[in-house]
Structure 1
Amino acid sequence: MGAKVSRTDFEWVYTEEPHASRRKIILEKYPEIKQLFGYDPLFKWVVLSMVLAQFAMMPIVQHLSWPMTLILAYCFGGVINHSLMLAIHEIAHNLAFGHNRPLHNRLFGFFANLPIGVPISISFKKYHLEHHRYQGDEVIDTDLPTLLEAKLFCTTGGKLCWLFLQPFFYALRPLVVRPKPPTPLELINLIIQLFFDAVVVKLFGWKVLGYLVFGSLMAMGVHPVAGHFISEHYMFRKGFETYSYYGPLNWITFNVGYHNEHHDFPAVPGRRLPEVKRIASEFYDTLPQHNSWSSVLYDFVMDPEIGPYARMKRKHHGLKS
């Protein structure tokens, strides 16, 4: 890999994040979009089927060689686990059972978390909702790469290495940038997950637990479904900080590719986001968009103008009331 350096600083902007204002304008023109708000009654059954599919794989993986286990984890198990991570994203917005049943959402999050192998359900919500409200804030939005990441991984080879390490940055960055004390629900999430992992090891052995955990890690790195991490907010066109992807991988990722639509209307479940785009098409058709997450990953590595620096950042002015 060459050592050609990309950008040398973030794109600093002094405007508010665009989604709240666009939401207001769209709802004034299309108030019927409010009918799409609420939970998706089919969602829990889709998640249940994915978790059961991973349970069914355990006795099969038990008898595979390690090389075959890792191939299966990358091509199949990791894809399911990544989809379960995006199910946890939906659950963070209370879209499994609705805002009136928070405990149901949290308990279901524990269940969806099981095949992933590491506890993320509660911690993810704690930071993700701030990403929506304070998008681009240099202190609060932990989705932004740190200055150290951007400086260390700004070359072609460095960016490829950064993609491989992305699951670790994604998990550890909030603990460094914006540490928060653990909540009781996080401890419960940890206890449930450790108990499940111990049961897996006891019944099927370490290789099966490795299939679950390695699949989760590999599918967050250099993997087609992981392209959404880059496609969502990295600045592929100057002046635009959120991008949608309308390709077929939305079918297995709860339409997370409809990312402008999601940030505009986080109360709309993923299955209904295409309807938001259909109703308010003139607001979305003219925005830059992606057609391939694999191409996004390739361009991120190879294009010197794109890299960890290619994010729009805002100076921190304190928490909004």
Structure 2
Amino acid sequence: MGAKVSRTDFEWVYTEEPHASRRKIILEKYPEIKQLFGYDPLFKWVVTAMVVTQLASFPLVARLSWGPLLLAAYCFGGVINHSLMLAIHEISHNLAFGHSRPLHNRLFGFFANLPIGIPISISFRKYHLEHHRYQGDEVLDTDLPTLIEAKLFNTTAGKCLWLLLQPFFYSFRPLIVRPKPPTPMELVNLVIQLFFDALVVKFFGWKVLGYMIYGSLMAMGLHPVAGHFVSEHYMFRKGFETYSYYGPLNWITFNVGYHNEHHDFPAVKRIASEFYDNLPQHHSWTSVLYDFATDPEVGPYARHHSWTSVLYDFATDPEVGPYARVKRKHRGLES
């Protein structure tokens, strides 16, 4: 349980992320993929059904003692809330109403956010789109663990704790690594969520609010559906920075397991399957969590980082360059 991983640094690469070049090749071979661009008109109704299901469960949850409540939050409410988080992921890409109606997507994101208990819809979008554009960039991709995380949680026990605390790292890392001022839409998201939470407490009690929030947090930690956090980009095989999962949990997670395809083109595997069949892939998110915790070669370090932004900033930032070194007079020392 206490064995340290052999990795002592991230995997640094100089090349661009693999999806841009693969998108170009796939489009040249299968131009008909462009006909798939768009949104699923059934998506909003599925999300609405999940929100309504959570609301309908509140009177029953209010009667539970804390033990059964936490079990229900882990096995039922948390699963729905995690699925709603992934619905928010889809909404962040304007897949509820299409790119031509961004406000409709933002408002629907507020609605999907309600049972989760914590306002995440707008903040998630603000950072997630940069993950797609700058995958692996040590500054701009806040999906990457920090060096402190990698150094502190580098044993089996440490990685289990890191997985358990993953919702906190996932939520607060962007605020530390790449803080941004809150936008007006984030404040609207906050006000709507706090108002809804207050209504829940008024009509159903604090336990139901706890059920909402505990379920959300538990389902982001040591939980099978949370396996996608690790399976998507942690390097289980050297040289590959994105992995797809082809298993049954895709049915309740809006196919987020098709992650290579998501970064290339959503739903592309059916047409261009030869581009994905030979890539490393996962078939069980539970196994992903187990392997992540126990394999000494896998852990927070097992991520691709890109030097591209460092070279760009060095070349373009007037405050950075060969002169940007601290020197001490008379001692001949540099630091």
Q: Same fold by TM-score, threshold 0.5 exceeded? A: yes
Partner of 2:17: 17
1:302 aligns with 2:294: yes
Partner deviation per Cα, 1:161-195 (whole Å, 9 max, x = no partner): 00000000000000000000000000000000000
**Could you give the per-residue CA deviations for residues 107-147 of structure 1, whole angstroms, max 9, x where no partner exists?**
00000000000000000000000000000000000000000
Secondary structure at the counterpart of residue 136 of structure 2: coil
Q: 1:286 maps to which residue?
A: 278
Kindly indicate whether residue 266 of structure 2 is the aligned counterpart of residue 277 of structure 1. no
Question: What residue identity is the alignment partner of 1:62?
Answer: A
Give 1:98's aligned residue: 98
Unaligned runs of at least 5 residues, structure 2 = 314-335
Q: Is the 8 A contact 1:6 1:155 kept in 2?
A: no
Q: Is the 8 A contact 1:116 1:213 kept in 2?
A: yes
Q: Determine helix, strand or coil for the equivalent of 1:25.
A: helix
SS at match of 1:313: strand
| 1:247 equivalent in alignment to 2:239 | no
> Matches of 2:5 and 2:259 in 1, distance apart?
28
DSSP 3-state at the match of 1:19: helix
1: distance between equivalents of 2:66 and 2:7? 40
Counterpart contact for 2:5–2:299, Cα < 8 Å: no
Per-residue Cα deviation, 1:183-214 (whole angstroms, up to 9, x for no partner):
00000000000000000000000000000000
Q: Give the distance between the partners of 1:31 and 1:53, measured in 2 at CA.
A: 40
What SS does structure 2 have at the residue aligned with 1:263? helix
Q: Contact 1:7 / 1:309 at 8 angstroms: preserved in 2?
A: yes
Pair 1:312-2:304 in alignment: yes
The letter of the residue matching 2:253 is: T
Counterpart code for 1:226:
A
What is the Cα deviation at residue 2 of structure 1? 2.0
Q: Which residues of 2 match residues 1-321 of structure 1 at below 5 A?
A: 1-265=1-265, 268=266, 273=267, 276-315=268-307, 316-317=309-310, 318=312
Aligned residue identity for 1:90: E
Deviations for 1:254-300, whole angstroms, at most 9, x for unmatched residues? 000000000002xx4xxxx2xx1121011000100001000000000
Deviations 1:72-107 (A, max 9, x none): 000000000000000000000000000000000000
Contact 1:231 1:296 in 2 (8 A): yes
Determine the structure 1 residue equivalent to 2:323. none
* 1:7 to partner: Cα distance: 1.3
- d(CA) in 2 for partners of 1:124, 1:5: 31
Native 8 Å contact 2:3 2:296 kept in 1:
no
User: 1:5, 1:292 → 2: CA distance?
Assistant: 23
Paired with 2:159 and 2:208, the residues of 1 have a C-alpha distance of 31
Q: Deviations over 1:11-63 (max 9, x none)?
A: 00010001011001101100111111111100000000000000001000000
Percent of counterpart pairs with the same letter?
82
Q: Aligned-pair distance for 1:5?
A: 2.9
Larger Rg: 2
CA contact (8 A) 1:6 1:307 kept: no
Instruction: Quote the Cα distance in structure 2 between the aligned partners of 1:3 and 1:163.
Output: 17
Q: 2: distance between equivalents of 1:93 and 1:302? A: 34
The question of whether the paired residues in 2 share the 8 Å contact of 1:119 and 1:189 is answered with yes
Q: Distance in 2 between matches of 1:42 and 1:130?
A: 27
| CA root-mean-square deviation | 1.1
Unpaired segments of 5 or more residues in structure 1? Answer: none
Q: Which secondary structure does the structure 2 equivalent of 1:12 belong to?
A: strand
Look up the equivalent residue of 1:170 and give its one-letter code: Y
User: What is the one-letter code of the residue matched to 1:300?
Assistant: F
Letter in 1 for 2:118: V
How many residues are aligned here?
A: 312
Given that residues 5 and 298 in structure 2 are in contact (C-alpha distance below 8 angstroms), is that contact kept between their aligned partners in structure 1?
no
Q: What is the rounded CA distance, in whole Å, between the counterparts of 1:249 and 1:129 in structure 2?
A: 24
Using the size of structure 1 for normalisation, the TM-score is 0.96
Q: Counterparts of 1:278 and 1:38 in 2: how far apart (Å)? A: 16
Mapped partners of 1:98, 1:114: distance in 2: 21
